[in-house]
Amino acid sequence: MKKKILENIKTLLYALVIALVIRSFLFQPFYIPSSSMEPNLLIGDRLFVSKYSYGFSKHSLPFSPNITKDRYFMKAPKRGDVVVFKTPADNRTDYIKRLVGLPGDYVQIINGDLYLNDKKILRTKLNQEFTINCGNEKIDVQGFNEVFPNGKEYTVVYRKEGSMKDTDKYFVPKEHYFFMGDNRDCSKDSRFLSSVGYVNINNLVGKARITFFSNDKDLGNLFKFWKWNKSIRFDRFFKKIK
C-alpha cells in the first residue's frame, strides 16, 4: 500500500514537472478579459501563446521570479505581431496588444491616421461596420484594414464620433517596443506613458497563436449547459490569430 502511494506521488510530480516545462517554454493558455483587441480578439476568447517565439526571460516562469535580468535565445518580434507582455507599471499584469513600433521608430496619429517614421500607414475603409464593447458600453465603430510596411494586414476599429484624432510623436527607445490595441479608442496601451508606455524587451511573454475556445459570458456561463448553443462561439475554435 505504501509503495503504491509513493508511486502515485511520483507520477503526480512527473506530471507537474512536464506541465511546468510546457507552460514555461512552449505554450501557455490565456484568457481575454477586455475589449481592447476587438474585433480580432473578443472578451471570453481563450488562446494559446507560444513562449519560445521571442526567447525567454524571468517572465517565462510562473510568478516571474527575480532570478535573472537577461533574455535568453532572443528572437526579435515582428511589427504586427499580437503579443502578450507584462506591463512596465508592475511587471506582473499580462496585457495583449499589437506590436506597432520597433526600437528607434517614431509613432504618431495625425488626423486619425497612423504614422510610422513620418510615413502614413496604408489604411482602407471597410464596408463592414462593427458594434463592439468599450467598458460597459456597446458602441458603433468604423472598421479599417491597415497594412504595415512589412505587408502585415489586420483590422482596426475607430469610433465614428469622438475618435482620437491626434497624438504626440512617440520615440521608441532602444530595447523597447510600442504596442496598440486594435480597438483604437478603447485600449490602454503604449500611448499612455504613465501606465503602459514603452515595453522593455524582457517584458515580452510570447506571441498569440491560436484561439482554442470562446464563450460569450453575457449569453451564459459554462455551467449553464442548456445555453451552450448561444454562448459558445464554435466558429472561433482553433482560429489562427492574425
Active-site residues, by number, are 36, 97
Q: Around Cβ 129, how many Cβ atoms within 10 Å?
A: 11
* CB neighbour burial string for 91-126, b if at least 16 within 10 angstroms, e if fewer: eeeebbbbbbbbeebebbbeeeebbbeeeebeeeee
| CA distance linking residue 156 with residue 97, whole number of Å | 12
Q: What CA–CA distance (Å, rounded) separates 42 from 173?
A: 31
Q: Which residues pair with 204 in a beta bridge?
A: 85
